[in-house]
Every structure is written in structure tokens, then in C-alpha cells.
Structure 1
Amino acid sequence: MSAPDAGKGKPSAPSSRLMYLGVAGAAGLVLVAGVAFYVATLKNHHEKAVAAIPVTVTSKACEPNTFSVPAGERTFEISNKSERPVEWEILEGVMVVAERENIAPGFKQTLKVRLAPGDYEVTCGLLSNPRGTLHVTPSEEARAQSAHTTMRNFLGPLSEYKFYLGRQSAAAIRTAKELDDAIKAGDLAKAQALYIAARQPYKRIEPVVYRFSDLQNTIDPVADYFEKRENDPAFLGYHRIERGLFATKSVDGLAPVADRLVADLTTLDERLKAMKMTPDVLIDSSGNFATQLSRDRLPVGENRFVETDLSDLEANLEGIGKIVGLLQPVVKPVNPELAQKIDTAFRSAENEVAKQKSDSGAATQTSNGVDQRKELAAAFANLADALNGLPSAIGIDSNGT
């Protein structure tokens, strides 16, 4: 047997190269495991960072009264520890950034909102209670938000919506003056007929009007948020007139209230004319307002003294529809699926309102039952879900043209 043949029976020692490869492979596995652990840690940290922020509203204040959160999309969990239904608002000056209405005593509700860095005020239950302070700090999350659309895409829609706001605001002033004249003339029947029509222009622009907290609280406030409810001197606006015309059935004492309504609507008109129209006005307003309707107003109704909730809702839907119509040409090129989802949801809500109005035989919701209100709330919740997809679909590149 030759020497080479003799060597075949002995096992060969592993080469240095193979040993290096084995060590490198093991190190790679350790590295992958380390990266996976790090990512999981970051994920857990992120989940904790975006957990709901608890806020308690008592009969006198918010707890905490001052707090800080990073910018971006945040969820607040509001607990009502008072004995009255409350609303909780985030305010930037007099402008409402987001709000949650009709939080029942002993219950919790959540509010999700996109917040830019800055300092905000928060309302704490009754309108007479002191306000809290919310500090929003810069964050990577907010800076990393994607942008898909340039300002040029919005020039036409913003201009047209500004014109629409002006036209409806002027109509609100005109009809309020007609109502004021009827009240001063002592004509109860005419004032009752004019009241229903007078609210329609205001309800059409309510998706934007709700941002003006101070005017909203004098033009169309809910009595529950005042210390003495309907008997509170600060309870003014449409609902105060509604109470006199349809509950008390008298125009006595309503002339000063009607004068104030005309004055406040005139101030609103001036604010709207001076308001800087930005894409966020269109992108956020319709979804926020549809959410507010489905979650806070529709389950309980709004008009307690006259049965006009469906008529008001129809006007609200016209206002939302105006925004939807202006945004569809912007949305379709970047997200046709969302555009179709919004269109379908809007038509469904429109059909549900029309159906219930036809079934009731009048512009009323009071005669409808809990099930009908649930159906309305579900239709508007579906619409809100579709509209709330707009911010991520058509974020703005402010440097684009």
C-alpha cells in the first residue's frame, strides 16, 4: 500500500478556516439575538410611551392640573369623578384642538389627538372651573411623520372652503337677525318657525366653528356644563332661545339673548374672515367632528325642547360633505382606496339620516328610540373612521410646491 493510500484511514483535523467560520457564525447568531432583544426592548418602551395618559376631572379641577407629553398622536383617558356630565377640551388660545363631550359621572372615556409641540390649556369640567395646562414637547415621532402632498394641491380647496364659510356665516347672521326681529315684535309663532331655519347655516360650518371655544360656549352651549344649568346667567345662545320658545312658550326675556346671538355670530364671521386657512383645517375638521357626533351627541341627542335633531344633523352632514367633496381630488391620486372608503361611508351616513327623517315624518329625533340613535351613531362612527385616515394619507410637505 502506498503512502497516500495509508493516509485515507485517518480522520483529517478541521482546518483553521472552518473553525473561523464556525466562530463567526456563532457570533452572528449572538448578534442577531442581541438585535432582536434590543428591538423588542424598544418596542416595549414605545408601547409604554404611547400608553393612554390618565386625567381625572373632579367637581373643581383636573388631576393632574399640569402635565407634559411628547408630540405626536396621543391618547388621553379621562375619568369623571364629579357628579355632573363633563366635557374635556384641549385648547390653543381660544381654538379647540380636540374635545370629548358628555362624559357621564363615574365613567371613563378616551380621546385620541395629534399634538404639535407647544403649550395648551385644558378645560376641567364646568366652564367656571380653572383650566389645566398641557405641555407638549418635541419628539422624533412627530418629526418623522410622512408627507405625501404639497401645498399646491390645497390652494383651490382652501380658497373654495373659505368662500363657503363666509357664505354660511353671513346666512347665520341674517337668519339670527330675522329671529331677533320676531322676538322683539312679540310674535311667538313666527319666532318658532324662524328658529329652526336659523340654526341650519351655523350647523353647516360647525366642523370648523367648534374650534372657537369662547364663541361656541355663548352661541350653542349645552346647559349641563353650567353650574345652574338652564337657570345659569351664562347659559345663552340658540339653546337658551329654544328653551323660551318651545318649553316656556314665551318670548319674554329673550330679546337680550337674541341680540347677543347676533353679536356673537358677527364676531364669529370676523374670526372666520381673519382665520388662516391651512390644510389641517380640511384634513382634521371633518373627521374630528364626525367622531364627536357619533360618540358624544348622537347617543343622547342635543335639542331638548324642540324636535330638530335630524334636521340639524342633516345640516352637519352637508358641512362635512362640502369638505369631503373638496378633498376627494387630493386623496384619490395618493390613496384611491381611502377615497372610495370615505365616499361609501359618507353615502351610508347620508342615507341613514334621510331614512330616519322619512320614517319619523318630521325633522325629529326625540320620537325615535334608542335603536335608531344607535344606528345613526354607528353610521357616523364608520364615517369618522374613514375620515380619520386622512392625516396619514395626505400629510403636507410644507417645502413642496
Structure 2
Amino acid sequence: MRAVRLTAATAVATVAALTAVTGCTEKSDSKDKGSDAVKVTATDDSCKVSATSFPAGHVKLAVENKGSKVTEVYVLFPDDRIVTERENIAPGTKANITAEIKAGDYEIACKPGMTGKGIRQKVKATGGKAAAKRDPRLDKAVAEYRTYTQAQADETLPKVKKFTDAIRKGDVEAAKKAYADSRIGWERTEPVAESFGDIDPKVDVREDGLEDGQDPKTDWTGWHRLEKSLWKDGKIGSREKELATLLDKDLKDWQNRVGKALITPTSMANGAKELLDEVATGKVTGEEEAYSHTDLVDFKANVEGAEKAYDLLKPVATENDAALTKELDRQFAALNKLLDEYREDKKSYDFTSYDKVGEADRKELSDAVNALAEPLSKLAAAVVVK
């Protein structure tokens, strides 16, 4: 789910949550902010970079949001495919991003308010075609993660068809039962799907994430459009049946393309952090599944996807920063234990409906996410060969 436009009511709460996730980054990651980092200063109407040319390889971005809006920072290929990103950078906070970038032309984009195409600066990574130095174990991790993401896509399509078949038959209750399960594989690997740029807005955007000028009646497609029809409207019409078939088509495109995604050790690590940000700003707040209240299913899938990437990178990360992986092990275990309290058994995805989770319990979940997200933000730096 791409970050959405914030309403006045949710902006304050979101900024508070994001400050909890990112506010400590400035202090704890300060050792990474050397002269070799490209500084990115974001405001509400500018995106300044300290260098428009830098050596290819492991590139550090030191981001500071001096604006009044939550922002995102992307490194993009010329065709808008995503090299790396960091979403949900709260006003007045800093974030460090470590990414593996090959020689070539790119754009750095800041997105104040997390909408639109962003304010962009053209940059160049120099140094020929040599790849960044990489531990051979990380090549194995990338290969295994690529297999994992493809398997998640392959397993998702039949589950989606069960959901969309029910819609085409006009069976509201059967569609409701199939809805959450159809989303698990997507949620586990969402950063890879988002890296293509064009698929996520078709299948996973919420109504409040539509761009200015888009009409919800004609331009809103995907899971959440169908979710609203099923739970709020309680009916299936010809439009919903058309959207079900379109969802099949768009997710088939995802399945066909996911094996070609650009995946590096640092993109795996940054993607794991993105998944925790997704939880912090959508699932914990209850905004992601506003009608079905199946947020905890998405929540668990996001955590599983983040943990998979971490587990594959852990052998190298442990050698470089044993204290970090010890803390990550502890925080993943704590968060998983807490989530288990909301389902009948560890093999079940029958989670408590999120509208029945009280404010105190939501805060406990949010605190556990924040406790994991902070050390997870350091994982990319820990897999860079010393």
C-alpha cells in the first residue's frame, strides 16, 4: 500500500507515531553520517542534494526532513522503477539509507505529503560498471529471497481467484471469507511489488490514496475498492465484477514481473524496514482495512516478510554487528509473541477483528512495532562489506 494523503485528523497521530519510529535515528545512526554520505534535505517545496554525482557502489543517503509534512525519499531509475526508498519520514527527523547503486543516471525524489511524483533532482553514479563488493553469502541470500518472492506471487494467484470468483458469482459472504487470505503473499513482499511503480496503485491503493483529479467512481481499482463494496455497501454489481477480473489481470502482471525485480542485499534490508513502516502507519492505526477490519492479517504478513529478509541476511549482519542482530532477534520474538495473543493458534490466520482491539492494546502493538523498526533501520548498513 503506497503511503496515502493524510487528513487533518490523522496527520497528528501519524506524525507522533513516525517520530517514535524515526526520531531516534538521528542520534543512533550519527556515526554513519560521514563526508561520504549524500545529504538530502527535504522541505515542503524543495529537495536539495549535496552532490549530484557520486561513486557507484554502496551509497549512503543522509536524509533530513525540514518541512512540515511527512515525506518520502526515493532513488529512481529514469523509467521510475525504484532503486531504494524510505517512506514516512516525519517532520523534524532524520533517516539514513544505505543502498547498492550501479553506475548510471538516476533521480532522487522527495515527496512532501507522500503524494504525487515528487520534487526531483537528477544525479549520476559514476565509476564504470563494476558492482559493489559483496560477500558471496549475500548473493545466496538474494537468490533465496528472489525464490521466496516468486513463490509468494505464485501462491497468491489461486487465492485471489477464489476471492474474485466469489465476486463474479455475486456471493458476498464467500468473497468476504476469501478476502484477507488473498492478500497475505502480497503483504509479505510488498516492497518488491512497489518497486515497479505502476502495479501497487492499481491493486492496493485506498480511497484516500488517490491522486488529485482521480475519481473514486472510475479510477479507484483493486482490493480496497472491492473491500468497500463488500463490507460497507454489502452488495456486488456489474462494476465490482469488472473490477474482480481487472484485479486478476493486474496481479498476473505482478506474478510475471516479480522474478525480474532488482533485488540487492541492501534493498532486502530496506524493504524489511518499509514493511514495518507499513505496519506503523496503516495497520496499527486501523486505516488499511477500514471496512473489513482484517488489519492484523496484513500486520502479521508484513512482519513475516520482514523477518524472512532479515533471516537471509543475518549470517553476514551478525559478523558485522552482533549486537544489532541480537536486538533484532529479541524484538522480532517479542512482536510475534504479542501478535499470537490475537489468534487462536500459531498456524491460523484467524485474527481478532481490529475494530475489537482497544486503544490501550493498539498502543502496545504500536510500541512493539516501533521497538523493532528502530534497529531494523540499521540492517542495510550491517550487510555492507566492511
Give me the TM-score of the superposition, normalised by structure 1.
Answer: 0.71
Write the distance in 1 (CA, Å) between the matches of 2:195 and 2:251: 14
| Residues 188 and 249 in structure 1, CA contact (< 8 A), matched pair in contact too | yes
Q: Which residues in structure 2 correspond to 1:109-148 (within 5 Å)?
A: 112-114=96-98, 118-123=106-111, 125=113, 129=116, 131-136=118-123
| Residues 223 and 230 in structure 1, CA contact (< 8 A), matched pair in contact too | no
| Residues 357 and 364 in structure 1, CA contact (< 8 A), matched pair in contact too | no
Write the distance in 1 (CA, Å) between the matches of 2:221 and 2:258: 21
Q: Which residues in structure 2 correspond to 1:252-271 (within 5 Å)?
A: 252=237, 253-271=239-257
Q: Which residues in structure 2 correspond to 1:366-385 (within 5 Å)?
A: 366-385=355-374
The share of aligned pairs that are identical, in percent, is 22
Write the distance in 2 (CA, Å) between the matches of 1:158 and 1:344: 24
Describe the SS at the equivalent of 1:150: coil
How far residue 281 of structure 1 moved from its aligned partner, in angstroms, is 2.8
Aligned equivalent of 1:334: 320
Aligned equivalent of 1:282: 268
Aligned mate of 1:152, from 136, 140, 145:
136
* Aligned CA distance change for structure 1 residues 108 and 371 (closer, same or farther; 3 Å): farther
Aligned equivalent of 1:28: none
Higher alpha-carbon Rg: 1
Q: Partner letter of residue 259 of structure 2?
A: K
Aligned equivalent of 1:53: 41
How far residue 195 of structure 1 moved from its aligned partner, in angstroms, is 0.9
* Aligned CA distance change for structure 1 residues 258 and 202 (closer, same or farther; 3 Å): same
Aligned equivalent of 1:193: 177
Write the distance in 2 (CA, Å) between the matches of 1:130 and 1:355: 40
* Aligned CA distance change for structure 1 residues 131 and 277 (closer, same or farther; 3 Å): closer
Aligned equivalent of 2:8: none
How far residue 110 of structure 1 moved from its aligned partner, in angstroms, is 5.6
Gap regions ≥5 residues in structure 2:
1-30, 55-59, 127-131
Aligned equivalent of 2:236: 251
User: Deviation string for 1:83-113 (max 9, x for gaps)?
Assistant: xxx764525113263243597xxx7666543
* Aligned CA distance change for structure 1 residues 241 and 108 (closer, same or farther; 3 Å): farther
Aligned mate of 1:387, from 371, 376, 380:
376
| Residues 178 and 194 in structure 1, CA contact (< 8 A), matched pair in contact too | yes
Aligned equivalent of 1:165: 149
Aligned equivalent of 1:234: 219
Gap regions ≥5 residues in structure 1:
1-42, 57-62, 140-146
- Equivalenced residue count is 330
> Do residues 68 (structure 1) and 49 (structure 2) align?
yes
Describe the SS at the equivalent of 1:233: helix
Q: Which residues in structure 2 correspond to 1:211-226 (within 5 Å)?
A: 211-226=195-210
* Aligned CA distance change for structure 1 residues 113 and 370 (closer, same or farther; 3 Å): farther
How far residue 73 of structure 1 moved from its aligned partner, in angstroms, is 2.5
| Residues 89 and 96 in structure 1, CA contact (< 8 A), matched pair in contact too | no
Aligned equivalent of 1:77: 65
How far residue 283 of structure 1 moved from its aligned partner, in angstroms, is 2.5
How far residue 136 of structure 1 moved from its aligned partner, in angstroms, is 4.2
Write the distance in 1 (CA, Å) between the matches of 2:381 and 2:98: 11
* Aligned CA distance change for structure 1 residues 119 and 87 (closer, same or farther; 3 Å): closer
Write the distance in 1 (CA, Å) between the matches of 2:97 and 2:320: 23
RMSD of aligned Cα (Å): 3.5
How far residue 342 of structure 1 moved from its aligned partner, in angstroms, is 1.1
How far residue 229 of structure 1 moved from its aligned partner, in angstroms, is 8.0
Write the distance in 2 (CA, Å) between the matches of 1:108 and 1:292: 20
Write the distance in 1 (CA, Å) between the matches of 2:282 and 2:121: 23
Mean alpha-carbon deviation: is it higher for 243-252 or for 284-293? Answer: 284-293
Aligned equivalent of 1:25: none
How far residue 385 of structure 1 moved from its aligned partner, in angstroms, is 1.7
Runs of 4+ in 1 over 6 A off after TM superposition: 49-52
* Aligned CA distance change for structure 1 residues 187 and 234 (closer, same or farther; 3 Å): same
